Amino acid sequence: EVQLVESGGGLVQPGRSLRLSCTASGFTFDDHAMHWVRQRPGKGLEWVSGITWKSDNIGYADSVKGRFTISRDNAKNLLYLQMNSLRHEDTALYYCVRDRNYGVFYDMDVWGQGTTVTVSS
């Protein structure tokens, strides 16, 4: 079964850091680009970041550029999101998402169930 399982969410104070992880299973991880997409409470989807299969191209939303870093470990089937200088507006459910393609970003065909990040003092 194709599966993405996020972990690492939690309550964190503004200005602090958090690292999210996503464990992929049931498919060849390095055949796909990967993304993080978030959804603030009661709001729509917001693309956060994406990474190609061999990490040679990475993109970030303007709202997180310079604060968040995406990375992957193809040997361990893991995707990461290092989040620094967290703000209240980063509070959201963070989804790990698989791209149908391995390079240029296309469509997101497999979604995890998400991990919740709450930024609050």
Q: Closest CB to another protein among 29 and 112?
A: 112
Q: Closest CB to another protein among 44 and 66?
A: 44
Interface segment toward another protein; rule CB under 8 A; list 13-21, 24-32, 82-90, 110-118 = 110-118
Determine if 27 is a binding residue for another protein (CB under 8 A): no
Among 21, 67, 111, 116, binds another protein (CB under 8 A): 111
CA–chain centroid gap for 59, Å, is 12
Cα distance between residue 77 and residue 43, in whole Å: 30
In this structure, what is the dihedral angle of CA atoms 98, 66, 47, 95, given to the nearest 10 degrees?
50
Cα distance between residue 93 and residue 119, in whole Å: 12
Grouping H, G, I as helix, E, B as strand and the rest as coil, residue 30 is helix
> For another protein, what does the binding mask look like between residues 32 and 71, x meaning CB under 8 A?
---x-x------xxxx--x-x----xxx-xx---------
